[in-house]
Chains A and B, each alone.
Chain A
């Protein structure tokens, strides 16, 4: 058997529910109609009988009274009998007279108590099912007679049939409308699911555009939205991966082509002087170093991202680390005539990996000094923001970064000024590494910049909680 689709299943369930509901409501309607209608008929018969019995004046049933009942019988829809035969009234009940009286022995007891008797069912005397009411004609404790009113049950049931004749067309229209509405609802529900299924298949083939229509704000709608977001994210990640590969190959190719060119020149003996030869070799060496740096940085980043080398964390005085790094940069700064300003809070203790944090400071200082023109100032500030948080700020007076580029800072191989950076020896991975290390230390990094005025990098790190 073919497996049913979800939509078919839901639609079938709705259909079944509709059918069951209709059948149930018809049953209920039938039941209520019958009880209410029968009760009404019963009430009417009792009222008629009681009213007729009121005209009885006691003593034996008179001929005049009999004629009165007969007259009423002709006018009334119900059949009305006046019973005064003691046999029909089960007067001989204590004796086994074997007579199927209209009023049974038990009914007689009820009648003797002045209460009417209601009987519904087959009555042998009339050969059909009837609803009958018997009202006593009592003279003290004497049951002188009884008025027996009955209606064939077929009349009563015909009313139920009329009700059914009205009910079923309405029910059919109702069911049709419900099923059509249900079909639409099911389609709305399952269409996004089907689209997602198809999109997932496309994704497996490498096509990441999903674009599932979002029609509702329910779970399915939200799922569709999330699916779209996921597809976007995958597409972007894929894009980034491609760009990264392209970047890596590009970055590697540049020094390689230098090295190839100059070495070929050397081999071909194009360098005329020893001086020229040395210059060539220096260039090759420089490019080799660059490649080495690049490879090292890539490896570093890969390790940090993959967390293959865990951090060796220990409480350390961050200011000391910074001071040591600054010391190594002082000659370079002096060479560029850049002033290195320090404002360090020596009480700040960070639970971190000393080497990695040193790398953070070095990379940030590297960048700051690199982009700060001669005569500029690079300020390094370490301060306490709160009991639990410290901030390292590296501020330069460089040319700054356009605001719209700020969000891309820290992405691999992102460069504000591609040509210049490469010339100045950056790998384009420094900030990415910083970002990764900060994040491993549960910290946060932010950038601020004004074009022409300089850039500020803030790194916030959690501090070691000093218990009093």
Chain B
């Protein structure tokens, strides 16, 4: 009897420690939360979007480098170049969902607006892999070496994959699952914004070699032609467009640049220490400050800082999940 219970216990232990990812504290669906991916600490921090109070911190303990949130805000994906798959978690329960066995090399992920398909940038197969909601691979589209930025248009009909290394953008028709064209962009391009009304694609980046990027490159969505460059020093890497304009985050100079919808520069503020990610919600901008391990909340209208919220070490990416009633 005793022996049986011991072996059951051992089995449990193995199940818990080996095969299955551990469960984490749940995050109620009704709450609006700011989700910070702290890559240095390998944690995910959930903060109440209203007051910045910490709701949960998940210790992933795996070297993930980024993630994506499903359009319904229920599922969080985590990926990393060294991880052998894409980890998925249900926020409402904190439980891991079945892992997508993609193999290593995943460097980006983006859902279609309807949430039915996912696009995964694969730096090992130099491809964008299209997978279904349950992780079944539908297509594999050859793009450049390291598709680190994936941009999907509002209708979900087109997707832009920016290659980080080779300096090329690939346009993918998501219904036909085919690369329809490509055009050259600066090397180490990272982050972008599709402005469909204006027919523009804004692309940021780090700049290659010792030369740092100081400009935003604006391309035509129609034919990929370079329309102009917009100065936004130094190293613009994240973009947000709201009714109050276009906000660009430059991590090299710790600056947010604000532009009018027409692209006129309106102003800038200095924020954070080496910030990499910015999100907008509730009339506020949330900026992840990588070196100071915090989220800085800035008023969208006045660009005045409102609050600083502590995260885990090295917040690299942010999501805002709005609560549902």
Contacts and interface: CB of A to CB of B under 8 A. Distances in A.
Contacts of B254: 142
Interface stretch (A95-103, A159-167, A359-367): A95-103
B67 interface: no
B146 A96 contact: yes
Given A94-B276, A95-B190, A86 B39 contact: no
A87 B206 contact: yes
Number of chain A interface residues as a range? 10 to 19
B117 interface: no
B210 A94 contact: no
B190 A87 contact: no
A143 B206 contact: no
Contacts of B208: 97, 99
Contact of B206 (A60, A92, A141, A142): A92
Interface residues of B, number: 32
A194 to B, nearest CB: 78
B212 A143 contact: no
Interface in A70-102: 85-88, 91-92, 94-99
A86 B252 contact: yes
A85 B206 CA distance: 12
B210 A85 contact: yes
Contact of A99 (B65, B210, B235, B292): B210
Contacts of A95: 148, 164, 188, 190, 206
B291 to A, nearest CB: 5
Contact of A87 (B146, B164, B212, B291): B212
Closest 5 CB pairs of A and B: A141-B292, A86-B252, A141-B273, A142-B273, A92-B206
Given A142-B291, A143-B291, A91 B274 contact: yes
Contacts of A91: 235, 251-252, 274
Contacts of B292: 140-142
B150 interface: no
A94 B41 CA distance: 13
23 contacts: A60-B253, A85-B210, A85-B212, A86-B252, A86-B253, A87-B210, A87-B211, A88-B210, A91-B235, A91-B274, A94-B65, A94-B276, A94-B290, A95-B164, A95-B188, A95-B190, A95-B206, A96-B81, A97-B208, A112-B291, A141-B273, A142-B291, A142-B292
A1 B273 CA distance: 79
Contacts of B209: 99
Interface in B155-174: 164-165
Contacts of B274: 86, 91, 142-143
Given A85-B210, A86-B252, A141-B289, A94 B235 contact: no
Nearest to A101: B210
Interface in B230-276: 234-235, 251-254, 272-274, 276
Contacts of A92: 188, 206, 235, 251
Interface in A91-140: 91-92, 94-99, 112, 140
Given A85-B212, A95-B164, A140 B206 contact: no
Nearest to A139: B273
A88 to B, nearest CB: 7
B68 interface: no
A99 B274 CA distance: 18
A74 to B, nearest CB: 23
B106 interface: no
A86 B273 CA distance: 12
B207 interface: yes
Given A95-B190, A141-B289, 20 more contacts: A86-B235, A87-B206, A91-B251, A91-B274, A92-B235, A92-B251, A94-B39, A94-B276, A95-B164, A96-B81, A97-B208, A99-B210, A140-B273, A140-B292, A141-B273, A141-B292, A142-B272, A142-B273, A143-B273, A143-B291
Interface string B214-241: 0000000000000000000011000000
A140 B296 CA distance: 14
Nearest to A99: B209
A106 to B, nearest CB: 11
B76 interface: no
